[in-house]
Amino acid sequence: MAIRRRDFLRAAGAAAVTAGLPRLARGAETASIYDLERFGNARILHITDTHAQLNPVYFREPSVNIGIGEMAGRPPHLVGRAFLDHFGIRSDSADAYAFTCFEFEKSAPRFGKLGGFAHLKTLVDRLRGDVGEKHSVLVDGGDLWQGTGLANIMQGRDMVEVANLLGIEAMTGHWEFTYGEQVLRDNLERFKGEFLAQNVFLTEEAAFNDAIAFDKATGRVFKPSMIRELGGRRVAIIGQAFPYVPIAHPKRFTPDWTFGIREEELQKHVDGLRSHDKVDAVILLSHNGMDVDLKLASRVTGIDVILGGHTHDAVPQPVAVKNASGTTLVTNAGSNGKFVAVLDLALEKGKVGDVRYHLLPVYSELLKPDPAMAELIGRVRAPHVTDWSEKIATPDRLLYRRGNFSGPVDQVICTALRTELDAEIALSPGFRWGVTALSGQPLTMEDILAETAISYPETYVQEMTGAQIKDALEDICDNLFNADPYYQQGGDMVRVGGLTYTCTPTVAVGSRISELQLDGGKALAASKRYKVAGWASINARQGAPVWDVVGKYLRSGRMPEPYHSGVTLQGVEDNPGIAGQG
């Protein structure tokens, strides 16, 4: 790829576009933030991992996001002060609040909530209007349909309506698959854009039984790519769905489909777009996760830019990765509707001449909500607002989830599981989605659903030996810290309740977890059996949905003790992916 990196990230992308914005300061400040210099002849707007958050949210970025081996100290594995220093962001700025956990509790009342689809609509329309419809396209990187009680009960239908009004022209998927094949196909019938996934194929048995596929010859289930003419040039956009859907989620949702990174098939497809379709640029719309995308970019040639998602990393500047035929830029655009990525391309015949990239925070108090989108959001929410608006509890601390090992939200869930299901130990999945609640902010059932709403929410209690618990923790830890990104299957570490342990991420698989102890300091015995509560099992369960269990616990007026993750870290003391326990 012949990209001349002459200042392709002027002003550090969007990292230095603001400096301490006052609240409710719509007007001149808005122009200075979102009025981008016109560049090139094609603009691609990218959002990802919004997790159905229709309204503006608080969302604290992680204080623990550890990179191991070659990834130590490199984006996206920088947090807090290290992130600010690396990207040249002022610590008292609005961008410090948007991009990091730094002084979050102090900054949240000052700068307010981010995102919200009515505000996104205003910003997207402005950014597209600045260059013209024939020069722009809006794409979504997946995890659009899941993450709230509304999306769960409507099985993503609300988000299809929202996506159509927003103007999304292409998307790929991850949690979308957890509604099952029929719901997915029904929703896609209503979706006005393209669903792209080059890496989803029929299983051998499904192919033999003549199951539905986009391409019978290859067994591809979905359209792999689309070509758009932008600024008089041909741009190919390839979809890359989450590669590990049948492993991370119940196989029953996608019994006829097989996933994977599919490097070989991707390379062939890129080569065909270049040689047969004569495209001038190739963009990969990916839900691999950023570490996987960085490795992929070094091995697959001919891709100009990867617009990444899944790991919720808000990275202000693309990472340039060299490969056998040139350079690929790798990006990741955050989560929860907090950001819009703006990729401006100077397209020439057969190549990208130059690039500008901005990752713009969506400051809801600086953007007037679009009336049509606000009306749609109000209409789809109306049947459920009353049922979900009951105040269940008022937390006395900041509640957040995002982080490699745990967060106060997970502590609430684990404590509720142990208390209500009478278990010694609780295990809760390391989901990245879920919003942040400020201390003193009343919690409603809608808030609880925003942390728990999935299509397999059943709780359970089972007996496990100490050895089985350690093996489970080791296995999940390897998914997080394997030196080869292709073996990192997504998510963060399973959250624990009633249990503490030491983790050494830098050592070999099977040796990372040690010093397991029950609350009170008694060592976990390898042969002893313990009563363990959990939820979101990939196996079918019959228990109450987790949101009912958490709601019952909180209605009792109880809150867990002051937060601690239960994890002691070793061997990573100077790692810039750690700003504190969490």
Phi first, then psi: what are they for 195, rounded to 5°? -100, 120
Cβ pair 44, 137 in contact under 8 A: yes
> Would you say the C-alpha torsion 181, 187, 192, 193 has a positive or negative sign?
negative
pLDDT at 491: 75
Mean pLDDT of the chain: 93
559 has a pLDDT exceeding 90: no
> Residue written as tokens 């003193």?
440
> Residue written as tokens 């999306």?
151
83 has a pLDDT exceeding 50: yes
Which residues make Cβ contacts (< 8 Å) with residue 337, sequence separation at least 6? Answer: 47, 50, 53, 56, 57, 114, 115, 116, 117, 120, 362
Angle between helices 371-388 and 117-129 (to 10 degrees): 170
State pLDDT tens for residues 166-205: 999 999 999 999 999 999 999 999 999 999 999 999 999 9
274 has a pLDDT exceeding 50: yes
476 has a pLDDT exceeding 70: yes
| Mean pLDDT, range 473-489, rounded to an integer | 92
State pLDDT tens for residues 343-354: 999 999 999 999
- Residue 149 CA to residue 457 CA, distance in Å, equals 12
The secondary structure of residue 427, as a DSSP letter, is E
| Mean pLDDT, range 117-130, rounded to an integer | 98
| Mean pLDDT, range 304-330, rounded to an integer | 97
492 has a pLDDT exceeding 90: yes
Calculated CA dihedral for residues 374, 380, 381, 384, nearest 10 degrees = 170
- Residue 239 CA to residue 141 CA, distance in Å, equals 8
pLDDT at 43: 98
Considering the entire predicted model, what is its pTM? Answer: 0.94
And the tokens for 159? 């988000």
| Mean pLDDT, range 269-298, rounded to an integer | 98
Which residue, 479, 183, 165, 511, is CA-closest to 173?
Answer: 183
Q: How confident is the model at residue 25 (pLDDT cuts 50, 70, 90)?
A: very low
- Residue 275 CA to residue 536 CA, distance in Å, equals 45
The region of weakest confidence among 27-31, 84-88, 120-124, 523-527 is 27-31
- Residue 393 CA to residue 321 CA, distance in Å, equals 48
For 394-420, b/e burial (b = at least 16 CB within 10 A) is: ebebbbbbbbbbbbbbbbbbbbbbbbb
pLDDT at 32: 78
Q: How confident is the model at residue 234 (pLDDT cuts 50, 70, 90)?
A: very high
| Helix, coil or strand: residue 120 | helix
- Residue 459 CA to residue 413 CA, distance in Å, equals 11
12 has a pLDDT exceeding 60: no
- Residue 194 CA to residue 197 CA, distance in Å, equals 10
Which residue, 51, 271, 265, is CA-closest to 145?
Answer: 51
330 has a pLDDT exceeding 70: yes
- Residue 407 CA to residue 110 CA, distance in Å, equals 23
Which residues make Cβ contacts (< 8 Å) with residue 307, sequence separation at least 6? Answer: 44, 46, 48, 139, 141, 283, 284, 285, 286, 331, 333, 341, 343
| Mean pLDDT, range 297-307, rounded to an integer | 98
pLDDT at 580: 61
> Of all residues in the chain, what percent carry a pLDDT higher than 90?
90
| Mean pLDDT, range 282-288, rounded to an integer | 98
Alpha helices in 321-465 (DSSP H): 371-388, 408-421, 445-452
